[in-house]
Every structure is written in C-alpha cells, then in structure tokens.
Amino acid sequence: MIRIRTYLLCLSVVCLSWVRGVEAEQLPQYAPQDHLGVATCASGVCHGSVRAREATAVSQNEYVIWSRRDRHRAAYNTLLTDQSKSIAKNLGLKNAHEADMCLDCHADNVAVENRGERFQIDDGVGCEACHGGSETYISTHVDDAATHASNIEDGLYPSDDPRARAKLCLSCHLGTSEKMANHNIMGAGHPRISFELDTFNWLQPAHYNLDEDYRAEKWAGSSLELWTIGQVEAARQTLGLIKDRLNNASLFPELALFDCHACHHSMSDQRWAAGGSSLPPGSVRLNDANFVMLFSIANVVDQNLEQALRQSLAKLHKVVNKGQNIDAAISQFQQRLDELDVKITNGSIKNHADALVKVIIEKSGRSKMLDYGSAEQALMAVDMLLSSTGMRQDYAAWLDKAYDTLSDENAFDSGRFTRVMRSFKG
C-alpha cells in the first residue's frame, strides 16, 4: 500500500560506506561483472511474462512490472526534460544524458568495458543496476540446484539484505565519495534530495512475493525493522560524507550537507532557531535530518544512549560550525551509532511500534522538529508506524492535515507542524 501523499511520490524519481555484514560487497556499478542489459532478462520465459506465474518460485513478470510501473525505468528519460537541459547548461555540460555526473544515478552507468552487446544506457536504472552485473549468474541462477547464497557468490547483489539495500539506495538518494548531488548541481537547478528506506521501498511496485520460498532464503523483516535499519545506515553514510567532504574544506565547504532552508529563505523570515545544535543565531546548520530519528529509536531501547547521541550530534554541529577538526566528533558519533545498532539488531525493536509513535509525536509536539527535513522524516516515520500496526485508516484525516504542513518546503511553518502533531489523539 502506498502510504504517503503525492508530493512525496515525486521525490522517488530523484536519483542520483560502510555497512555491517556486507563490507565486502561492491555496489553493482563498480563490481567487476559485465552488465548484459535489461533485454537479457526480458524474455517471456525468464522475467518478461505478461502475467504472473504460480508454477515457479518467482512470478516471472518482474521485467513487465519494472518497465510499466517502476519509476526507476524513467530515470534516464528525466535527463531529456527541459529542466535537465537547463541544469546541464548551467553546469557547462553538453547535455545531461551523456554526462557521467547525471548518468551515475539516472542510469546503470557502468564502465564501457563492462557493457554487454545488448546493454543500453537509456534503459535507466534497470535490473543490473540493483541486482548486479549478470555475467556470472545469468546461466546458473535458473538451475534447480541454485540457492540465493550461491547466486550471491556468482555476483548477484544481496538486495534483500536490509543493510545492503540501504547502502545501494543511499548511494544515489544521498551520495557516496564517488557520486553525489552536490551544491553545484543543486545550485544549477537539481531538486533537494530526500530519502527514507521503508517509505521509498513502498513507493515502488514490488516485483517479488513474500511467500514461503522467499522467507526461507531471504530477509523478510517488518517495515519497522527496515525503517530502523535504514535510519542507522543513513546516519552512517551521512557521517561518511561529512568526514569525506568537510575535512580540510576550502572557504565554502560542501554546502549540500547543510540545511538548505537555513540560507534559502526570505531575509525577513528569521529562521535562526538552533534546535538541538546549540548554535548561535545566524549559524548555517548541518542537515541533521538523517540523525533526528535516532533519538526516538534510542529513547525506547536505552534512554541513556539517547542522551549520548544528542551530545555527540551537538559536538559535531559545534566543531563544523567553528571549522575545527571533525574526526574526533565523527568517531564519537559513530561509536554511539554502533551501540544503538547492537541494541536494534536483536529484533526487539519490532515490539516498540506503539512506544515509537508516542515518542515521535511527543517530540514533534514540543518543537523538536524545527526544520523541514526533520519534520519530513518524523511524519514518514509516524505514517509507517501507523501502517505497520494496522491503524493508518483510523488516522487518515489527521495524516492529511500533517502532510499539508509539508506541501511546500519553501513555506514550511514549524509552528503549524508542531500544532498538528499536538492534535494527534491516540
């Protein structure tokens, strides 16, 4: 069920590392296997069946679902729009649909030498962009003796694993050391990047069935577990970007890592509230939207750890603001993040859905979500939690009011958002 309003759906078309348990995994774009092209998967006897089949372990209509309904299919076509042409012109590029900085996230932009005869760059974000180059597994994954583990050994990317999936999705929807929608690209006209793993997972049509076969070999946790893991991995990747792109910065550091709306607002609109960062008025704050939900998660598993996380984030804000060395602050934050990760990986987080709703609502109602990005993350979390507990329909009218407060990021009123969150009854 698609659980959020249309304005968030638009965010899903914006495409552009360390992950516990999958450190050795390479993202499909950089792995050595050749990418043979979407056409190699599209046969009616492979994954191109018009109708789902029941006699096989997979439905075999995965290509049809992707080609007709998945927005990743249109990622390359986005580069042909007038907006993309304008962005390319502003960046001094010949065009967007041939520029690596655009193709890296709007297509399966593997090295030329790794492109098979049927590979087409204009297929967009296709099968192998997520599942890995099929050179070595295409002939073995159909064997009766093949298992999910053996397919991974043959080069299939473990996209079912939540951490590996987070790493893959965030590589475009947040950025890595190799690619990122930086401030230059945004200044040229690229939309602001926003992402939350579980919500965006639901935005696209599933091309797999959570049946007994799937659960026997693959990860099949709840939305709450996927959301929690996504929050931890987004925080990790954000810390990595801060370390990589803000250390030894020039006069103007990578501004895409800061809160966009701290600068982009009317001069008469004094958005200087520092929130939990304890920064003075006029400060340009880091974009900490990928950190704020960690406090609520920690609150329900270890309140002492919540306080430690808050102190770590405040220290990070301070050293970045003062232009000091950030390594120690990042290391401290990563240590706290690892502690939280240990507490959530035992599976107990799935028992805290009701408590999480209460905590996030309470914090939002006490003006803890002063910036648009944090409010956005909070509302997506509440929506997910209400859905996971089967209560979303009961609060549909309230959710509509809450999403209305986020309908225009340039006119976001934190006071209005806070009042709506306070009006939650339950």
What is the tens place of the pLDDT at every residue in 286-314? 999 999 999 999 999 999 999 999 999 99
Q: Where are the alpha helices (DSSP H) in 107-147?
A: 127-131
Residue 12 has what DSSP assignment? Answer: T
Q: How far apart are CA 295 and CA 289, in angstroms?
A: 11
Closest by Cα among 16, 1, 6, 19 to 232:
19
Sign of CA dihedral 342, 346, 348, 349: positive
Residue 26 has what DSSP assignment? Answer: P
Q: How far apart are CA 384 and CA 345, in angstroms?
A: 19
Do 33 and 136 touch, CB atoms closer than 8 A? yes
Q: The pTM is what?
A: 0.91
Q: How far apart are CA 85 and CA 94, in angstroms?
A: 9
Q: How far apart are CA 144 and CA 46, in angstroms?
A: 14
Q: Which CATH class is domain 6-217?
A: mainly alpha
Residue 92 has what DSSP assignment? Answer: T
The dihedrals phi and psi of 101, each to the nearest 5 degrees, come to: -60, -25
Closest by Cα among 301, 40, 56 to 48:
40
Q: With a cut of 70, which residues of the chain have pLDDT below it?
A: 1-25, 248-251, 269-277, 347, 368-369
Q: What is the CA radius of gyration of the chain?
A: 22
Do 198 and 296 touch, CB atoms closer than 8 A? no
Q: How far apart are CA 324 and CA 311, in angstroms?
A: 17
Q: Where in the chain is the domain with CATH 1.10.1130?
A: 6-217
Tell the burial category of 108 from Cβ atoms under 10 Å away from its Cβ (0-12, 13-18, 19+): buried
pLDDT at site 281: 75
* Token pair for 399: 């959710």
Q: What region, left, alpha or beta, does residue 175 occupy, with left being phi > 0 and alpha being psi -120 to 50 degrees?
A: left
